[in-house]
Chains A and B, each alone.
Chain A
């Protein structure tokens, strides 16, 4: 399994990194003094929102003041790159993917706090979190909507609906669970999200599915924590803190396009933060930290585009671009023109002379590149408004090689069955996939009913890792390695019983149902480029006999839809009625009855004793009330 994950690590870096690696040093130099002012205000602004970090911050500020006194500009050891990819989809929708990458040659973990006292481009709030909790790698995503693989193809960076967080801690951490709990609370403050709802009942330690994406090949999954919150709703309040992490904020560069009323008027919205250690240079002599902020959005043809296949930056974001972020060493827009080589499918204006080719997700794609750091990109109007206008109908999309769906079958509120269908659309290659399922404890799994069938035959998984749940403590964790035969549907089913919760454990809207997080399918998928055997494309013959290594397969992660499961729910007005009724009965009926039973009745004496009479005479004389 380790081999599987390690194999695609460099590949991933290569695929995505190759798009952004071209470094522009001159821009950085010209804007050096501006950088200072911005980064100084940035330090003031990026106040950590969690109380835990208060003391840390004060000491840091003191130190950074000292630093500023003896300030001689060192060679910048951090850089920022921004880019956007626009991919027209076969369904007529349009997919825009932003990536912002900040790289900093420092080490939060080893050198102690002094080394990371001064922040320039890297957001301080995250840096402090990294060093305080000894985080090795952090991946967090907030997604609203479900990626429709069958209509849209594959996303650049997949994410499940809701919030997902997975963290590799440094191997020196002793109390991983404690760190994890604090970390989730801090992140919850930073991103204004309900990540504080992550606790032991929805956290798992996957043994194989989530391997580090950065340097180091840690395989001890005790230092890994993975949790999803499928019900998390993503909105403007999550976007604002996310934008604040960018060096230019939303003031300049590509981020000016991120107006929330447009971003949330879409079919799909996903924003993520990935932090990992990467190689500083090609020799990999030392490590650097990479912060990658991504935002993916899909605009709908009918609701955003009024049914017309005609897209422009202004139509999508109601903004146009006028400048790059001055702090960015590179700032580019890529438009996917693979299906439009001669321009017969759609018009792209203004056209760009720059063309770039890359193997992305197993397919060789061609992109038109717009370099925002160059003046001529913006033309005479000094604003860039990319326009895509369709001329003809696009043909059908190639089926994505892997997709999955999941549903609950059966009816009634006692039992059910979870079906996970894995589709391998590759015509002749079988490949293994890793399936990860994390189910809450209130679905009591009947693991003996677990069946894996493909083509009506039993398909025995070669690896199964199952961790049973503990009531109110721990979820089920089911991981398995399944071989998918070519051109087939593999169905994984498992039955469960719906538990009856304690009445305080129900959510405020119990009849809505309970969310079950997406299952995660990770696979090395044979690439489409390698599939292309009858070489119809214009390629030299000598290049196409053996499939090259990095093109032969690529890593892919697919998330299924989350499930909404109804549990047996009591009528919550009933206890209220019962309480009211019993209180009334107790108060009126029982109370008076008990009073009658326990009261001692005494006969009133007709004549008072002598002493009392005497006392009363005296009292009457004094004018005092009688006894």
Chain B
């Protein structure tokens, strides 16, 4: 109580303040140390001794082993061939055949048709107006009151892909139907138009409409879905199975799902990978470390993109733990047949069936340098914390500098209210203008595509992407114009206040992003923090301008594209990389429109304006 009133204490506080001031002066040079420490910490996460081994947390799935008896892999492949023939005949999803087959297996079969107009044509998948039908069959668990369900899904993809997945799905359905031990209903979903179909089905199932999808209401339901597995299989035999975890907005399923997959791969002797990379045992060599670092970086890049990397990704929004399992057929000697894959699924579904509660025991926030190792949130957050500390220290530094001169000149009375009022306007104007630019970047590309197509010889998709890039670049010219709106000169005090605001803004922004999607937050922090920390109007203009542009969010995406290709061992040339970059942007905008991915609005409405503030500071007059 007496803490502030006591004159002695006040003196102590002043001393403390001076101490902090000195400390900041010392720390000034330590920003670099902080930055390097953050990066080093992050890279250290891939080093095996620093990470934890995965372990099954959920009791219901841990100790109770199940016996896998799925016998009919060959028959499943025959069904797959039949499905392929019907698919070819119909020229799309063979709805009638699927309904008939599933009904003959004793499932309750329902269909759902949906339609979706894309905001602009999707060139990578060549679609604009999407119409399709989902077929799903429900296996009702005996003596269960329709309260819980599991989902097994397989996409009906165009061309010759994924036929085996549908075949295996139907084979599993037939086998599961004659078993008595089910406690949860099992939904077998064959969806058309991959993610759009899944999105329509999920929205129909939960009776929501987030993305403006047109669909017919579902006729059959099975209570709350506890977990989902998505199956992608392109060949009769596979060499390995790849686990895909990254979902919409960087959401991940509970780690126990990954553990479950790994446990069954071990049990059945199936090679399993994550990010397409096998596990290595030589962690103490440089190659071993690089391998796990690559795996982890791939996961970070995929998570940061915020898009669903498999059909499972859309389930996560509804609090359904889900993962995609993808069969890979490479030129290895070791092959696994459909029966083994069927057994793997049987085992996983049976264990999920044993669940008493939703998967909640294990981690939801993690990175995986390999399938047996994980980095939990407690281990990776310090890396991000170290980067944000720089912003906070800089902000503290500015605040102290802004605060101290006033008491010296005016004897500590009436603490400088007069200089702050012009400051407010000079700060507010750039903030508002850069956010308006952000709004333009968010809305105009899709809105103005028709106009662009009329006037320029480009396709709609190109029009959208190029408009986005044009607005992005036009934003760089703003500082020269904002000053016309501000009456009078920008003061020294002015840019400090603006930078203080911008630093805090960036820190909060990155902090919030990292809590939801660590990878995105971290990648943005790696490029934005140095620019934000160093920029002042007093540095050499041209050089810093180039550095700033290179560290802007747009360029970050470009680097990520190249890095991703490099890590996937399909390096691209500059021109190809640029084309990829353009398609990544269009995909980002589409993901936002179709599935509600938040990365594009986050970048356009918040991160880019924030970066513009620093750009403003650089050109402060």
A contacts, CB < 8 Å to B: 91-92, 144-146, 148, 150-151, 161-162, 230, 264-269, 300-303, 306-307, 405, 407-413, 417, 419, 509-513, 515, 561-566, 569
Contacts and interface: CB of A to CB of B under 8 A. Distances in A.
Interface string B195-223: 00000000000111000000000000101
Given A410-B206, A509-B357, A511-B358, A564 B179 contact: no
Contact of A146 (B106, B144, B317): B144
Contacts of B224: 408, 513, 564-566
B314 to A, nearest CB: 11
B145 A561 contact: yes
Given A269-B143, A561-B147, A563-B147, A417 B207 contact: yes
B319 A512 contact: no
Given A161-B145, A562-B147, A419 B178 contact: no
A409 to B, nearest CB: 3
B180 A265 contact: yes
A514 to B, nearest CB: 11
B145 A407 contact: no
A561 B270 CA distance: 40
Contacts of A408: 224
Interface in B142-184: 142-148, 177-180
22 contacts: A91-B106, A144-B143, A146-B144, A146-B145, A146-B146, A150-B108, A151-B108, A161-B145, A266-B143, A268-B142, A301-B106, A407-B221, A408-B224, A410-B208, A417-B207, A419-B207, A511-B357, A512-B357, A561-B145, A562-B146, A563-B223, A566-B358
A302 B177 contact: yes
Contact of A411 (B146, B147, B180, B318): B318
Contacts of B20: none
- Residue among B143, B178, B318 with max Cβ neighbours from chain A (10 Å): B143
Given A268-B142, A411-B206, A566-B319, 10 more contacts: A161-B145, A162-B145, A267-B143, A300-B142, A302-B106, A303-B177, A307-B106, A411-B208, A511-B358, A564-B223
A269 B145 CA distance: 11
A500 to B, nearest CB: 17
A419 B205 CA distance: 12
A144 B141 CA distance: 11
Interface residues of B, number: 27
Interface string B95-111: 00000000000101000
Contacts of A162: 145
B559 to A, nearest CB: 35
B394 interface: no
Please provide the 3 A-B residue pairs with the shortest distance between their CB atoms, ordered closest to farther: A409-B207, A161-B145, A511-B357
Contacts of A562: 145-147
A565 B223 CA distance: 9
A434 to B, nearest CB: 22
Nearest to B185: A146
Contact of B180 (A92, A303, A564, A566): A303
Contacts of B318: 411
B36 interface: no
B360 interface: yes
Contacts of A265: 180
A453 B144 CA distance: 30
Contacts of A150: 108
Given A302-B177, A566-B319, A230 B143 contact: no
B356 interface: yes
Nearest to B208: A410
Interface in B130-145: 140, 142-145
B221 A564 contact: no
B207 A266 contact: no
A265 B284 CA distance: 55
Contact of A268 (B143, B180, B207): B143
Nearest to B359: A511
A564 B207 contact: no
A513 B144 CA distance: 15
Interface string B300-329: 000000000000000001110000000000
Nearest to A411: B318
A509 B108 CA distance: 30
Contacts of A513: 147, 224, 358
A151 B360 CA distance: 35
Nearest to A516: B147
Contact of B207 (A92, A407, A565): A407
A302 B207 contact: no
A566 B360 CA distance: 13
A497 B108 CA distance: 32
Given A301-B106, A303-B180, A145 B145 contact: yes
Interface string B502-525: 000000000000000000000000
A303 B179 contact: yes
A410 B207 contact: yes
B357 A411 contact: no
Nearest to A297: B143
Given A267-B143, A561-B223, A566-B319, A409 B179 contact: no
A148 B140 contact: yes
A410 B356 CA distance: 23
Contacts of A268: 142-143
Contact of B147 (A412, A413, A515): A515
Contact of B358 (A148, A412, A512, A563): A512
Nearest to A511: B357
Contacts of A569: 360
Nearest to B142: A267
Nearest to B180: A303
Contacts of B147: 513, 515, 561-564
A195 to B, nearest CB: 18
Contacts of B145: 145-146, 161-162, 230, 561-562
Contacts of B177: 302-303
Contacts of A411: 206, 208, 317-319
Nearest to A264: B143
Given A265-B180, A302-B177, A561 B146 contact: yes
Nearest to A267: B142
Nearest to A234: B143
- Residue among B145, B148, B179, B224 with max Cβ neighbours from chain A (10 Å): B145
Contacts of A407: 207, 221, 223
Nearest to A559: B145
Interface in B222-250: 223-224
Contact of A145 (B142, B178, B179, B208): B142
Nearest to A406: B221
B206 A564 contact: no
Given A302-B178, A411-B319, A562-B147, A266 B223 contact: no
A489 B317 CA distance: 29
A395 to B, nearest CB: 14
A144 B145 CA distance: 7
A147 to B, nearest CB: 10
Interface in B470-513: none
A413 B319 CA distance: 9
Contacts of A510: 357
B217 to A, nearest CB: 9
Nearest to B146: A561
A569 B319 CA distance: 13
A409 B142 contact: no
B361 to A, nearest CB: 9
Nearest to A160: B145
B87 to A, nearest CB: 27
B46 to A, nearest CB: 28
A419 B217 CA distance: 12
B137 to A, nearest CB: 13
Given A303-B180, A408-B224, A145 B358 contact: no
Nearest to A569: B360
Nearest to A518: B145
A309 to B, nearest CB: 12
A566 B148 CA distance: 12
A407 B318 CA distance: 14
